[in-house]
Amino acid sequence: MINLSGKIALVTGSTRGIGKATAQRLAEAGASVVVTGRSEDRAGEVAKEIAQSTGAKTFAVGLDIGSRESIEGAIKRINEEMGNVDILVNNAGVNRDTLFVRMKYEDWDEIIRVNLTGTFLVTQLVVKGMLKKRWGRIINMSSVVAFIGNVGQANYSSAKAGLVGFTKTLAKELAPRNITVNAIAPGFIETDMTENLPEEIKQGFLSQIPMNRFGKAEDVANVVLFLASELSGYITGEVIHVNGGLF
């Protein structure tokens, strides 16, 4: 059984979906977990829920991944209240889907700023503590669309592909300090977004998945747990695909 007692985990965008399932799973393994979201009130509700169900220590902080000032303030509070982060899961992100010929500059800029630059900023601040400890786990949430593309997601696919290059480069730079850096590329996962899709669109996606079902947030969270643990200590710079055989 994986034991993360004594470790502090920060999961960005953890008030719902994959992020929430990940925070829950890490807490179940004994980690102290920081829950973040744009709404600190909502983050607080989720943190309380996780603490009550697992007995783990939790902390909630408002964090807008698209704002440098918000990121800097949140990391400062986390360091003061919880200590330096051992496990960082860069999960927060947004999408602004539209066909490329109709895509506005603002649609492109926001996705790159939030999904890619936001991850860079959070990681750069958090990694300082890992370097001091000479131990750390960084897990970046990419996407299957970084590898296969998707109509209407030129911006999102580019940002998620950028995270793969970021992961592989950082893995080489940080390996001498016993810090691993890996990425997960989920396929179609049951979330609020997929739940609201028209039935014919859902069936179209399902027809492409050999396992003939959408993944669950827990399917991704389980991989995060493995990558956060000592079991993955000799794995770095990798992308693990969680997509039911889609790619």
Token digits for 64? 């807008």
Backbone angles phi, psi at 48, to 5 degrees: -65, -40
What pLDDT is attached to residue 218? Answer: 97
Structural domain spans, the chain = 8-187+218-240
C-alpha to C-alpha distance for 3 and 98, rounded to whole angstroms = 43
C-alpha to C-alpha distance for 214 and 246, rounded to whole angstroms = 10
Token digits for 131? 């370097």
Q: For domain 8-187+218-240, which CATH number applies: 3.10.310.30, 3.40.50.720, 3.40.50.300, 3.30.70.270?
A: 3.40.50.720
As a residue count, the chain comes to: 247
Token digits for 76? 């400062």
pTM: 0.96
What pLDDT is attached to residue 194? Answer: 67
What pLDDT is attached to residue 173? Answer: 98
C-alpha to C-alpha distance for 215 and 176, rounded to whole angstroms = 35
How many CB atoms within 10 Å of residue 173? 11
What pLDDT is attached to residue 32? Answer: 98
What type of residue is 17?
Answer: G
Written as tens digits, the pLDDT of the chain (247 aa) is: 899 999 999 999 999 999 999 999 999 999 999 999 999 999 999 999 999 999 999 999 999 999 999 999 999 999 999 999 999 999 998 888 899 999 999 999 999 999 999 999 999 999 999 999 999 999 999 999 999 998 899 999 999 999 999 999 999 999 999 999 999 999 999 987 667 667 877 788 889 999 999 999 999 999 999 999 999 999 999 999 999 999 8
DSSP 3-44: --TT-EEEESS-SSHHHHHHHHHHHHTT-EEEEEES-HHHHH
What pLDDT is attached to residue 4? Answer: 98
What pLDDT is attached to residue 201? Answer: 73
What pLDDT is attached to residue 116? Answer: 97
How many CB atoms within 10 Å of residue 26? 31
- For residue 153, the Cα-to-chain-centroid distance in whole angstroms is 19
C-alpha to C-alpha distance for 36 and 23, rounded to whole angstroms = 10
Q: H/E element holding 239?
A: strand 239-242
What pLDDT is attached to residue 87? Answer: 98
Residue numbers annotated as active site: 156
DSSP 133-186: HT-EEEEEE--THHHH--TT-HHHHHHHHHHHHHHHHHHHHHGGGTEEEEEEEE
